[in-house]
Amino acid sequence: MEESHEPHAHHDHGKHLKLYLGIGGALFACTAITVWLSYVDFGSSRANFIVAMIVATIKAGLVGAIFMHLLSERWTIYRVLLLTGFFVLGLFLLTLLAFHNPISL
């Protein structure tokens, strides 16, 4: 196959290189911010926990959206992920339910 077999795609990917590097930089920055925030006292360990998880979720979102191309993916994959999200949330909910036992003896 010729080297210049997809000239259009070639141009597209060239444009994306800066985006990938930018997202990498943002992830580095978020990591530094997470570490820094963990030494800031937000009043309770629960508050620190929530802040750290918010930053981690932002990082995970960037990885998923840009590196894993979830911003522009096919519905087949969105459907799989919606089901996964549903079941994994159910998993966490069941775990948390264990601490909320309405039947006390």
Residues contributing to the site for another protein (CB under 8 A) = 1, 3-6, 9-10, 13-14, 16-17, 20-21, 23-24, 27-28, 31-32, 34-35, 38-39, 41, 45, 48-49, 52-53, 55-56, 59-60, 63-64, 67-68, 74-77, 80-81, 83-84, 87-88, 91-92, 94-96, 98-99
- 39 or 71, CB closer to another protein? 39
- 15 or 105, CB closer to another protein? 15
Check if the beta carbon of residue 62 is closer than 8 Å to that of residue 26: yes
| Residue 18 C-beta-side C-alpha neighbours within 13 Å | 4
Exposure of 30 by Cβ count < 10 A (0-12 exposed, 13-18 middle, 19+ buried)?
middle
- 13 or 105, CB closer to another protein? 13
Cα 12 to Cα 69: distance, rounded to the nearest angstrom: 14
In the complex, least distance from residue 105 CB atom to another protein, rounded to whole angstroms: 18
Token pair for 26: 């943002």
